[in-house]
Structure 1
């Protein structure tokens, strides 16, 4: 395997044959994902737990899995979290993006550089040697370090005991002082061997996918085949040449490789168009409101003239006629009183609805006219 793409092809069950030399085969996939698919989200504030960081990072890549905090041998003001991205497209997308939002902060994302592996024995759980060179005669339990036999699971206390310092923690715990000292010495030895050119560390190629995508051969750059120059080969255009509007830009799927400045320019252009439409709509509404105000003023003016005519009729025309009618028939008085009350109620309602100026004076004039109508009748009786 040369790169991550080869590894993914190797793990693709659909690419494997069902039989080889007339023998059925079954593909057993690895139980873990290699460190080449691991990334690190750095400088995460201490108040964010691993579960919350997992949810935030999964908003950028859905294939994120196995997120855990990186333990350092010194105190830090922020935390770093290592996680696996099994999808190569999402892996390259996070590398190109370079950051992910966690809470209200943009945290840097970098490739994971594996630490130097410590040598330990899974028989006695001590460091510094492997199982084949262990001097212990029995297999020990990784919890309590007692002899691990057939019935040990029933009697094991499941209480951790360190094989290095005999404290109550896992034998390979990163917080163990002996483990920390072993790692420091190991890192110094590896660094010294690297400087002396005794070993060479592998280079981490973080732009492998981009390099592979840079070479795109142009069909017109190759010489034509003999006799093929006269033939016209139809090749459909790969991209639409028509200009897209701002609305189409936001509706269609955005390209993966887009800079923040390009995205910002598109958003500004889209907002400018929307803002101009909003301004036009507001201008139309203002013109309609002004027209309605003008019509309202005309209506109020007409109603005021009507009230003046009603006032003139009540004060100057109706009282003389009523005085003559009351001297002959008292039934007319009741009808006139009823009509007068009805006119007062209607004018009062009109005053409340229209808030007309001078309506109170008109109501007082009506009451004075009613008093003038009642005086002759009372004196006659």
Structure 2
């Protein structure tokens, strides 16, 4: 009896350990029975300061108290925060339906305006039982109704799409032209568009209903699955085996020696394998340590580079206003002054007490309007490329008028208040562009000055 108890204890311990191994965590059990009902979201106005907003639990209590005042008993099972929105949920379908259908949500929480989102209108869906249709009798060999494959009299099987014969040993190439085996129309053989198929179904349904009502046939209904009965162990059903009788025969020394030798050899092999595994683990440990050291060095360099970038960024941010002011107030005016000197003013015979000042600039690009020349009116024509563009600067004591033209990269200006009216034509031609000088003939007058930056071929 004591021996049986000692044998049962290890079995019970093994069964308990096995149950603990296959036990599912409690968090998964809670999730299995949790609700999948959608949540409600509440969003505060953006103008309110986030520090003045109540906590999530306080907001949930305010909403629950408000619903109680309206005669609605609601208890939220989920209160959380998602981004800038509060998330509320219930695990009761009746509570969820009440929240969906009610319009008595509060408009404020602690004097802060709120809006309620994700209030879905869930329609009621009708549930209708699925009734299986009557199975048609048709041949998979010739695609005709009324018989099965084993009773088909056709010589060859036919393609289900084009109905061509499929001869054994020959590769069939389907024409993909749909034909019906019942009426030879352009649809499949069992399509509901076929009149013969519709007629066959109608007759089959009528005759099946007549046979069912007459009791000739019975429709098979799937039966419920029968649960197997639980096995129960009855007392003395499996008696214990008798104890083995002890053997008094002496052991053979040769077999004992061979067994010991084999065990020693196996232990030595196992020891070698364990030593090899131990050495591999030590090598992997050293390699891991080296990799960690390299990663630490790389991390230190990255941090140092990040600090340098931040420092340089701060310095550049501080220098940008100074550089912009330097370019705008010093470098750019000096450049314009040098260009004006290089172009040279055009001195014509002015009227009494007047001095003529006219400057022509070619290839001014997109920076022509970043700075103004004092005491000059500027006439500009945009270029066809990024570096193009032509400008004519005329002193404000003179009167200038622009002449409209369709010539690319060119500007025409008439200058008055001189002894005679002078027309100035300024042209910039980019490299690789072919132009005809004859297009200027209609704009040339008696006193015309043409100044160009020729980079193009001329016909």
Q: Which has the higher contact order (CA 8 A, sep 6+)?
A: 1
Same fold (TM over 0.5): no
Larger radius of gyration: 2
User: Which structure has the highest strand share of the two?
Assistant: 2
Query: Which range, TM-score by smaller chain?
Result: under 0.3
TM-score (norm 2): 0.22
